Amino acid sequence: MKLHALITQFFPENPTRNLKWKHQSRSKNCSNQLWFVLLFSIVMFFILLCFNQLLFENSKGFVSFPGKSTGSATYFPGKLKSSSKDSCLGRYVYVHDLPKRFNEDVIKDCQLITRPTDRFSMCKSLENSGFGPRIRGLNGSELWKNGWFSTNQFMLEVIFHNRMKKYECLTNDSTVASAVFVPYYAGLDLRRYLWRFGVSMRDSSGIDLVDWLTRKPEWKRNLGKDHFFISGRIARDFRRKSNRKSEWGSNFRLLPGSENMTMLTIESGSSKNDIAVPYPTYFHPSSNFQVHQWQEFLRKQNRPYLFSFAGARRSKQKGSIRAEIINQCQASNKLCNFLDCASSINKCDDPATLMNMFRSSVFCLQPPGDSLTRRSTFDSILSGCIPVFFHPGSAYTQYVWHLPKDHNKYSVFISGKDLRVGKIGIKQKLVQFSKEEKQTMREEVIKLIPGILYGDPRSRLDTIDDAFDLAIKGILKRIEILTKRN
């Protein structure tokens, strides 16, 4: 190392040899001089050591952290050893080797996780690391040839797990790990038993998992606070309060062991240990170039529609604003494009139809549906279509690691309440934006694209942080605070 070369250059004898030599010496004068040289060299050595470490921390220890909305823009990993330049320090993740019944076996019999309403069987959705079948022959451009898949949103657990297997800082030594990943397919497991089965079937694998985890030495270190897992279902699905069969979901997140872990989920709820991450979209690029090419393509799009909406009415749902939204869309004199998912279910699941619709629109309406969030939000961002929200829980309070805090920059908010009582109209609100304002917002949306997509694990997006990378940065920072390690 440079430092050692420097020291030997100035002090050919190293300090220990000087010391030895001093004992052999009989000259007092010489001895005093030597003491001085020795002291000086020790002081210099420590100054240089400190200096070296400072430089090292600045170049390697701090990683820029986009998308995180807390004041500090830097991330500082936990344990730093001065002797090593290991860029994985503070980023090591240990992945639990779970019994297969918690993941592999869940997807092995893919018919069991397939619902009659699914467009493809889940067996198809499992292809290509969980991205689903490749989309070929999408109209328009060469661009569509690479990286596009018919992705089912519930596959996020498999997609994330496959990315995790390729994470650059995996470790088999759990004592150096900053976080512990639990590759449990929570949502897919529940999907097998959500409809026809009683509560004990829905709850059993969660109870088994917690029992398995809490016996492990990895658990005892932080009582699970450094553990995390991912769910392709919304958080509410795991918070069934009673044991009535008619009540929805499982009780997994109410189990004492489960509560201590962080759950990454497509939609968080009231628990502070549930953190929302983007729904998977149709685009899983394998190179930076594919991302940039797509962004360029979107910038040049002709967008004949001011706004569009793909969805269905929710007539059974009390207080749903969807009927109002659809009425306003249909009354807008061709400014709005409506794709009715109640009458053309297949089109609403067809990536080509949806992407072509969204990339022809300036704004895309994203009202709550069965729950507050929608996968469509991320499909619209992916199309450079500015999302319009009607509830803060549809995005602003959810994706704090992936979407900017200043939501006026990339989206429009129309209060659902005001819309319902006729205080504001959608068209009336959206026509107010100038051409420049729309362009500036769209550019913000297009810049968000890399951070909301899940790249192909079979290759790497070398300089781009995708949704997975941002989630890992977020989780490491969160766990560092939770466990107060240093």
Where do contacts with ligand NAG occur on this chain (CB under 6 A)?
Answer: 139-140, 170-172, 214, 223-224, 256-257, 260
Q: How far is the CB of 357 from ligand NAG (least distance, A)?
A: 12
Give the residue with the Cβ less far from ligand NAG, 177 or 475. Answer: 177
Q: How far apart are CA 205 and CA 199, in angstroms?
A: 11
Give the residue with the Cβ less far from ligand NAG, 347 or 429. Answer: 347
Q: How many CB atoms lie within 10 A of CB 301?
A: 16
Residue with tokens 């170039």: 289
Tell me which DSSP letter residue 279 carries.
P
Q: How far is the CB of 158 from ligand NAG (least distance, A)?
A: 20
Give the residue with the Cβ less far from ligand NAG, 260 or 377. Answer: 260
Give the residue with the Cβ less far from ligand NAG, 25 or 172. Answer: 172
How far from 214 is each of 171, 223, 228, CA to CA, in Å?
20, 8, 13
Give the residue with the Cβ less far from ligand NAG, 20 or 458. Answer: 458
Q: How many CB atoms lie within 10 A of CB 98?
A: 17
Residue 306, phi then psi, degrees to nearest 5: -70, -40
What per-residue string of b and e applies to 254-271 under the rule 16 or more CB within 10 Å gives b? Answer: ebebbebbbbbbbbbbeb
Which pair of tokens denotes residue 268?
Answer: 């968080």
Give the residue with the Cβ less far from ligand NAG, 152 or 260. Answer: 260
Q: How far is the CB of 218 from ligand NAG (least distance, A)?
A: 12
Give the residue with the Cβ less far from ligand NAG, 171 or 287. Answer: 171
Give the residue with the Cβ less far from ligand NAG, 211 or 437. Answer: 211
Q: How far apart are CA 181 and CA 191, in angstroms?
A: 21
Phi-psi region of 384 (alpha: psi -120 to 50; beta: other; left: phi over 0): left
Nearest to 68 by CA among 338, 473, 441: 473
Nearest to 342 by CA among 295, 379, 309: 309
Q: Which residues pair with 179 in a beta bridge?
A: 93
Nearest to 113 by CA among 184, 201, 191, 183: 191
